[in-house]
Amino acid sequence: MAEVLVLEKVSRRFGGVQALQGVSLSVGSGEVLGLIGPNGAGKTTLVNVVTGVRSASAGRVLFEGRNITRLQPFQTARIGLARTFQIVQPFPDLTVLDNVAAAALFSQRGTRLSEAREFAAEQLEFVGLGQFAAKSAHTLTLAMRKRLELAKAVAMKPKLLFLDEVNAGLNASEVDHAMVLIRQIAKRGITIVLIEHLMKVVLTVCSRIVVLQNGALIADGTPQDIVNDRRVVEAYLGKKYAQLSAARG
Amino acid sequence: MLILQILLNAIVLGSLYACIAAGFSLVWGVLNVINLMHGSFIVLGSYLAWGAYKALGVAPWTSLLIAAPVFFILGYGIQRGVLNRVIAAPVLVTLTLTFGLDLILNNAMLVAFKADYRQLVLDPSLGSLSVGSLVVPVDRIVAMIFSLLLTLALFFVLRRSRVGRAIVAVRMDRDAARLMGVDVPSIYATAFGLGTAMAGCAGVLLAMIFPISPIASGSYLGKAFVVCVLGGLGSVPGAVVGGLFLAIVESFGSLVLGPENAVTLSFGLLIVFLIVRPQGLLGKRGFE
């Protein structure tokens, strides 16, 4: 499996806070990687550093073998890195269709507006928002906005897609629908890094999981390894519980 | 008949106002920069037309072909080289910066061209059109047609082109746009370049009608301000509606109150609008 994304000892500091400390990680082509960790562990910072929203204080980021550590966000978007946002942010006054068309239009050079709209319409059908195409984006419910984020991200024809908490705030059936979509996106050959709090989603969808805590990588393995890893249980549930569950065997 | 004649004059003037204001409104709306150089760019455009006609015999409407790219490059360069450095700062900082740059540009024009009023007189004159008792000089009609064409062109660039959609996207949400692959600093520079090109072209057209002097820059800037507020900030249709509205009010106002009160009237209107309807006549938030 070829490596799409490689992080080499990436660090990021905000004043006195070490948000990422020497994180090394590689993501294989076609993989669905789960990135988990407690609140404030540095998950979103990691995505921000890779996509160029924040610069790395130290270390290198390689995408398809190319050093992208110093690229601007619009440049990473054009070479095939896309992301969704924890806090959804559509262009409120544009229609749902044009929101997606904007993503298709600006991420690839030489796209025409009509082509972008056509491609956008297909992506809207894909996420099940086809009937809302002409509606203004601010009229959508939260669940629909999350799906709109997915459509926008896919419309950028990414090679690597970061999904940042696409399931937060959704109910059970909406989560199930989102999981189906994520699987279908993966089937297109798009590598996915999934940031997620719902363990059910991570354990079913991901083939491999990495765990961040206080900006450092503390575990990397299959879903089975991760649920049995003592440090992970500690990070999430506290030392006492980890000792207790270990004692129980 | 007098009323029709005044209305006709107002429409000619209003379309020029729209052309003056469209670029100003674009820059203000997209970059949140109040470009105090706008008036001086207009005057510089007038000098370009005047010089080209005087020295080379190039007609003003042909000068547009030179003015548009030259002023675009000028604006693009100023934004890229100077304004982009402070674009994220509060509006007072960019306002002060454009104020300073305007002082430089305006005084440079005073040194180069003196404060004398100059006039671009077409020879032979284009004459005038008369229908019944209504009379309009042909040069004014030409200026009106070209300013409407330019404004329409700006509208379609923003509506239909890739770069136009990127400008709209940046206006709505700069951060989201850049994550989709929009090169924000370059879009800022393009928007400022378009605004400057509109100013330069408006200046070329105004040269056919009004006397030219660096001193006139303040009054052009004032018109741009008022039109933006009347029509609604940040939209091309807003600039057209605001421009026509201002010209009609001014024309009929000078009929009733005397021409010396026209400027007072337009700024009085500005104050009324700021209190009663600050979003302007069209009052749209997105730049469409």
As beta bridge partners, residue B136 has B129
Minimal C-alpha gap between B163 and chain A (Å): 9
The secondary structure of A88-131 as a DSSP string is ----TTSBHHHHHHHHHHHHSTT--HHHHHHHHHHHHHHHT-GG
Kindly determine whether residue A53 and residue B162, on different chains, have CB atoms separated by under 8 Å: no
Do B213 and B39 touch, CB atoms closer than 8 A?
A: no
Instruction: Check pLDDT > 80 for residue B42.
Output: yes
CA dihedral sign of residues B232, B238, B239, B244 = negative
In this structure, what is the dihedral angle of CA atoms B166, A111, A70, A85, given to the nearest 10 degrees? 70
Kindly determine whether residue A103 and residue B173, on different chains, have CB atoms separated by under 8 Å: no
- Using CA atoms, how far residue B77 sits from A34, B26, B252, in Å, is 45, 17, 41
Instruction: Check pLDDT > 60 for residue A159.
Output: yes
Q: Which among B173, B182, B285 is the nearest to A106, CB-wise?
A: B182
3 state DSSP class of B211:
coil
Q: Which residues contact A211 (CB under 8 A, 6 or more apart)?
A: A36, A37, A217, A218, A219, A220, A226, A229, A231, A232, A235
Kindly determine whether residue B177 and residue A102, on different chains, have CB atoms separated by under 8 Å: yes
Q: Which residues contact B195 (CB under 8 A, 6 or more apart)?
A: B23, B24, B26, B27, B35, B38, B75
Q: CA-CA distance, A20 to A217, in Å (whole number)?
A: 9
What pLDDT is attached to residue A166? 83
Minimal C-alpha gap between A49 and chain B (Å): 13
> What pTM did the predictor assign?
0.82
Residues B103-156 have pLDDT tens digits of 999 999 999 998 889 988 888 888 888 888 888 899 999 999 999 999 999 999
Query: Which one-letter amino acid corresponds to residue A149?
Result: E
As beta bridge partners, residue A6 has A26, A62
Contacts of B182 in chain A (CB under 8 A): 74, 106
pLDDT-derived band at B288 (thresholds 50, 70, 90) equals very low
Residues A184-216 have pLDDT tens digits of 999 999 999 999 888 888 888 999 999 998 899
What pLDDT is attached to residue B235? 83
Q: CA-CA distance, A97 to A103, in Å (whole number)?
A: 10
Q: Is the ipTM of this complex over 0.85?
A: no
Residues B220-244 have pLDDT tens digits of 999 999 999 898 887 889 999 999 9
Q: Which helix (H) or strand (E) holds B166?
A: helix B162-172
| CATH code that applies to domain A3-80+158-248 | 3.40.50.300
Cis peptide before B124 (omega within 30 of 0): yes
As beta bridge partners, residue A25 has A7
